[in-house]
Amino acid sequence: MTKKALIVEGGAMRGIFASGVLDAFMAKDYQPYDFAIGVSAGASNLVGYLSHAPKRSFNVITTMATDKTFFNPARFLRGGNLVDVKWLWEESNHRYPLDCQKLFSSIPMYAVATNTETGQPDYFHVSPENVSKVIEATTALPIAYKPTPCFSGGCFTDGGVADSIPVKEAYRRGAREITVILSHPLSYNMSPTKYPWLMKRVLARYPSIAQAMIQRAENYNASLDFIRNPPAGAIVRVIAPPEDFSVKRLTMNNNLLNEGYQMGLEAGESHLASINGVHGLHSENCHFCVDAMTA
């Protein structure tokens, strides 16, 4: 039996798109996967999906991630956090309590965090014992979040630094049908860091993280290449925002966020229609939809 995986990219406020896709999935009780891997905001979205909490991620993004307690440039200029990811996690659980029984009896969930010592990705199986630390670590944006989450013998920063789209890891774990929810339109390719010397200076205490940031574009685009040209025997399906998706990493405008959410809902519904045979799978309704078995 073919093993199936779901990958959800991060992207801070761009995660509003994935929240819409996953709400469309929840509306149809669609969860055919054997495991899921989330990165940064993608991991937060997966928590809502796997605990079957429709609109939870939408509410967290639009009512809490826009709050100055979370995002505060003035605080950052005074030496504090630009974004307070620990507050967001703890307060969201207070306002929108999780159904932990559903969350941890669902399919296995993994989250990516970047090891500050090695600059390499670590993939944590999310459990009741580590969920708070793992979510803090995978969303701990370098520079923007001052504390360094430490647990399980290491210290970590945002998972997107080392592995923004962990399709290769899903394949390594045996998945041969991989569905990827991206946070950028299909035309996007990440540009190399313009000032690597500045990255090394700003992250002088963490040279491995600086190097990972410098290599991030290369790794990101390599993941896109894997998606477009998967190994023989593998299928990769991609759900991505349309080209007019206007939400940026730090967009705080609720009209734009609502628009991005609706785009996600529509993309999720379109994906389900394709999978269910309402219309055929092709490049327009299923994006890449690469089937290497017929290549």
Known active-site residue 158: yes
Task: Specify the amino acid at residue 194.
Answer: K
Number of H helices, E strands in the chain: 12, 9
DSSP 8-state code for residue 61? I
What are the structure tokens assigned to 58, written together?
Answer: 């939408």
d(CA 277, CA 224): 26
Catalytic-role residue among 40, 44, 223, 270: 40
Q: Which alpha helices (DSSP H) does 66-166 contain, by range? A: 73-77, 85-95, 100-105, 131-138
Residues 137 and 64: beta-carbon distance below 8 Å: no
**Of the candidates 124, 224, 122, the residue with the CA atom closest to the CA atom of residue 168:** 224
Contacts of 168 (CB under 8 A, 6+ apart): 223, 226
- What are the CA-CA distances from residue 194 to residues 157, 199, 217 (Å)? 21, 9, 11
Residue 111 bridge partners (DSSP): 38, 124
Quote helix, strand, coil % in the chain, to nearest 5: 45, 15, 40
Catalytic option among 23, 84, 122, 158: 158
The yes-or-no answer on residue 291 being catalytic is: no
Measured CA to CA in angstroms, residue 153 lies from 116, 128, 131 at distances of 12, 18, 16
Catalytic positions are 40, 158
